[in-house]
Chain A
Amino acid sequence: MSNIGSYEERIKNFDWSIAEKELGYKKGDVINIGWYCSDRICQLGKAGKTALKWEGHAGQTKEYTYDDLRKVSNTIGHFLRGLGIQPEDRVCLFMDKIPELYIGLLGILKIGAIAQPLFSAFGDESLFVRLENAETRAIITQKKHAPKVKKILDRLPNLEYIIIVDHDGKKALGEKEVAMNLDTMEWIDSFEIHPTTAESPSLLHYTSGTTGLPKGVKHVHYSLISQYLTTKWVLDLQEDDIYWCTADPGWVTGTSYGIIGPFSMGVTQCVLDAGFSAENWYKFIEKYRITMWYSAPTAIRSLMKAGDEIVKQFDLSSLRHLASVGEPLNAEAVVWSERVFGKPFYDTYWQTETGSIMIANYPGMKVKPGSMGRPFPGITGGIVDTETYEEIKDINKPGLIAFRPGWPAMMRMYWKNEETYKKKFQNGWYIPGDRATLDSDGYFWFIGRDDDVINTGGHLVSPFEVESALLEHPSVAESAVVAKPDEVNMEVVKAFVTLKEGYQPSEELELDIMNFIRKKLSPLAMPQEIEYMDKLPKTRSGKIMRRLLRAQEWGEDIGDTSTLEND
Chain B
Amino acid sequence: MENIKDVVLKYVIDEYLEDDSEEITYDTPLISGGIVDSFSMVSLKRFLEVKYKIQIPDDEATPEAFDNVNSIVALVEKFLNK
Contacts and interface: CB of A to CB of B under 8 A. Distances in A.
Q: Say if A and B assemble together.
A: yes
B34 A526 contact: no
B81 interface: no
Q: Kindly state the interface size class of chain A when it binds its partner.
A: 35 or more
Nearest to A517: B43
A147 interface: yes
A69 interface: no
Given A277-B63, A277-B67, A510 B19 contact: no
Contacts of A145: 18-19
The secondary-structure label for the interface of chain B is loop
A275 B31 contact: yes
Given A274-B32, A274-B33, A277-B31, A510 B22 contact: no
A90 to B, nearest CB: 23
Interface string B33-74: 111111110110011011000000000001110010000000
Interface in B1-36: 15, 18-22, 29-36
Nearest to B63: A277
Contact of A515 (B19, B33, B43): B43
Interface in A524-545: 524, 526, 528
Contacts of A58: 29, 33
Nearest to A278: B63
A518 interface: yes
B50 A171 contact: no
Contacts of A526: 39-40, 42-43
B6 to A, nearest CB: 19
Given A511-B46, A511-B47, A526-B39, A275 B21 contact: no
Contact of B40 (A144, A278, A507, A523): A523
B58 to A, nearest CB: 9
A343 interface: no
Contacts of B50: 507-508, 511
A147 B38 CA distance: 22
A280 B32 contact: yes
Nearest to A145: B18
A105 B35 CA distance: 24
A304 interface: no
A514 interface: yes
Contacts of A524: 39
A514 B43 contact: yes
Contacts of A276: 31-32, 38, 63
Contact of B32 (A121, A148, A277, A457): A277
Given A508-B50, A526-B39, A143 B31 contact: no
Contacts of A508: 50
B39 A523 contact: yes
Contact of B33 (A57, A146, A170, A518): A57
22 contacts: A57-B29, A57-B32, A57-B34, A58-B29, A170-B21, A171-B21, A274-B32, A275-B32, A275-B34, A275-B35, A275-B63, A276-B31, A276-B32, A277-B64, A302-B38, A456-B39, A507-B49, A514-B42, A514-B43, A515-B43, A523-B39, A528-B39
Interface of A: 57-58, 96, 121, 143-148, 170-171, 273-280, 302, 306, 456-457, 507-508, 510-511, 514-515, 518, 523-524, 526, 528
Q: Please give me the 7 A-B residue pairs with the lowest Cβ-Cβ distance, nearest first.
A: A523-B39, A144-B19, A523-B40, A275-B31, A507-B50, A57-B33, A277-B63
Given A145-B19, A171-B21, A302-B38, 6 more contacts: A57-B29, A276-B31, A276-B63, A279-B64, A511-B46, A524-B39
